[in-house]
Amino acid sequence: MKNKLGWVFFAGALLLVLAGALLMNKRPSAELNELYSAKSLYRNIVVYEDKGLRCMKFGRHAVGRQSCMQLAKQDELVFDCIKMMMAGLYFNPAPQRVLIIGLGGGTLPSVLRKLFPYIQIDVAEIDPAITEMAKRFFYFSSDERLRVFEQDGRVFVKRALQQKIKYDFVVLDAFDHEYIPEHLLTKEFLQEVRDVLTRNGVFVANTLSRSALHNFESATYYSVFGNFYRMKNADNRVIMLRMGGLPPMSEIAQNATHLEARLRPFAMSKEALLPLLAIESGWAPYTSVLTDQYSPSNLLNAQ
């Protein structure tokens, strides 16, 4: 009975997600200077400028923005969710091999490259049109130390497992026009990510605070990793964890202090970020774990 009730609640919750998942960023003004519009195999891509920002979104009438940069101060991060994901460095201030799933405008890999010029950064981005857009309009560039693989993120992780490649820092920041693709939400996928992490590897995942999938995501992450940290504001919840056990707050604060001067040019500060950090444990009653067999689409199609 408990499991049945969980899936009933889940089905209703998912409808809310599909209706408004991308409200994470404010609607742009009515008058936009559109720079680029293209339809790829996966989505409609629009790049525009508005009030000193250059932004990318999926579809001309979409509310949410996938990436933005300030034209006058290009190093300063615009979105709080990017700052929260970057705060994963508080768990490992000196990563050597990084995997980012989802490119967007290329903000995350570009900032990490500026901070750590000699580390290896791999990006899995399924849509070649996104890579082209990031290079053309957001000054993203790749080379032998910052490689973009035009593959589905889960396929990339599976291949890394086969090749026994390990990462000490993995970021999941993949959204389509609705939400995180369903195959990147499941217990099986998280188990695969766990297996490509090094012994003390850090995993950071960008989700939405107001997503109706919130409890189901928590249950799924907890089923694979146990307790985890999260940074949360009104729009986003960024899940953070480290293999081998969560670091104590004293260590996190010490690392944040060590990184403060280096992160300040990107409009990051420990005073703003550390108060957002808390531990989540367990999950709400009547909440089911997301699996490959019981995915959101399967559930909706069954209604």
Catalytically active residues are 173
Nearest-angstrom CA–CA distance, 207 and 180 = 8
Judge contact between 108 and 100, C-beta under 8 A: yes
Nearest-angstrom CA–CA distance, 174 and 260 = 27
Nearest-angstrom CA–CA distance, 129 and 65 = 17
Beta bridge partners of 208: 236
DSSP string, 42-93: S-EEEEEEETTEEEEEESTT-SS-SEEEESS-TTS---HHHHHHHGGGGT-S
Nearest-angstrom CA–CA distance, 152 and 42 = 12
Judge contact between 103 and 148, C-beta under 8 A: yes
Judge contact between 18 and 179, C-beta under 8 A: yes
Using the CB atoms, write b or e for 57-94: b if 16+ within 10 Å: bbeeebebbbbbbeeeeeeebbbbbbbbbbbbbbbbee
Nearest-angstrom CA–CA distance, 213 and 26 = 21
Read off the tokens for 79: 């979105």
Read off the tokens for 259: 């990184």
| Pairing of β 236-242 and β 197-208 | antiparallel
